[in-house]
Amino acid sequence: MNIRIAIQKSGRLNEDSLKILKEAGISIDNGKDQLKATARNFPMEVFYLRNGDIPQYLRDGVVDIAIIGENVLIEKGEGISIAEKLGFSKCKVSLAVPKSVTYTSVQDFHGKRIATSYPNTVKQYLDKHGVSADLHIINGSVEIAPNIGLADGICDIVSSGSTLFKNGLKEVEVMLKSEAVLAVSPKINDIRSGLLKKLQFRLQSVLRARESKYVLLNAPNAKLEAILKLLPGMRSPTVLPLAEEGWSSVHTVIHKDKFWEVIDELKASGAEGILVCPIEKMVL
């Protein structure tokens, strides 16, 4: 029995979804215009679908799992659970108004027209704040709505903010933060749940590895103690003697952001020949 996964056919999630599956050791023949494929080395069938259609497929149990934007699940994914956050396609879903408008609070939207592709998300947010607005549902190019007199404000995805900027808008409320997630059908059966567990184990080692770097450096033995204190490793760093008397090589795994925090201190403490290498998989 195969596990059936939906991924976006084309768009922002497609490439990174295939990439993370590939890094998890799953090879998929990805022919152009192909809507369905079978993995070569994992019991998996891949369905290429529109992101917006995926919640319905999950609910119906036509697919077992999917890589999808969390924002889409919040909008129309009732009953669908999240097995794993995948760390890519990070964005916000926000309310925005023309730059020239003086904005004080969400109450300002009372009685106003808001253009959006996320009506449920907006309605829920406004209801929570006791605000009633007139929602205008459009499927794309939402940011143009205020400029053409269609709406007073908008609710859409914001990432760099450049689409808002180019359309003379400003972000005034962040309603939610989103990233790509691995979502699970409420109808998944036991055998396929077992396959999901295997897939999750692999994805977790990929995600952990993406966050970490393998660091090697040389240090004079007299400075070792100070240097080791700067390096929080997985367990404890490996220390090996160098051929040159009085020197050691230190190997450790460190969070990629942490490395930049400690690099100056490492050098100041006498570390030399520092190498930083990517890690392919990290199994705990």
Ligand X SMILES: O=P(O)(O)OC[C@H]1O[C@H](OP(=O)(O)OP(=O)(O)O)[C@H](O)[C@@H]1O
Residues of the shown chain interacting with ligand X in the complex, contacts defined by CB under 6 A: 12, 140, 143, 156-163
Cβ–Cβ under 8 Å, residues 68 and 11: no
Among the residue ranges 19-27, 44-52, 119-127, 235-243, the one whose residues contact ligand ATP (CB under 6 A): 44-52
Sole binder of ligand ATP in the list 86, 115, 142, 157 (CB under 6 A) = 157
End-to-end CA distance of the chain: 28
What's the farthest any 2 CA atoms get from each other in the chain?
Answer: 78
Picked from ligand ATP, ligand X, none, the partner binding residue 65 (CB below 5 to 8 A depending on kind) is none
Q: Measure Cα distances from 274 to 21, 22, 208, 243, 263 in Å.
A: 32, 30, 22, 17, 9
Q: For residue 61, state whether it binds ligand ATP (rule: CB under 6 A).
A: no
Check the CA dihedral 85-203-21-80 and report its sign: negative
Selected binder of ligand ATP within 17, 51, 121, 205 (CB under 6 A)? 51
Nearer to ligand ATP, 69 or 146 (CB): 69
Amino acid symbol at 203: L
Considering the complex, what minimum distance in angstroms separates the CB of residue 200 from ligand ATP?
Answer: 20
Q: What span, in angstroms and rounded, lies between the C-alpha atoms of 147 and 86?
A: 35
- Closest contact distance (angstroms) between CB of 159 and ligand ATP is 3
For ligand X, the closer of residues 45 and 179 by Cβ is 179
Report d(CA 30, CA 9) in Å as an integer.
11
Q: Which of 107, 147, 159, 189 binds ligand ATP (CB under 6 A)?
A: 159
Pick between residue 54 and residue 254 the one whose CB is nearest to ligand ATP: 54
Check: CB of residue 126 under 8 Å from CB of residue 106. yes
Positions that interact with ligand ATP (CB under 6 A): 8, 11-13, 50-52, 69, 71-72, 89, 91, 157, 159, 178
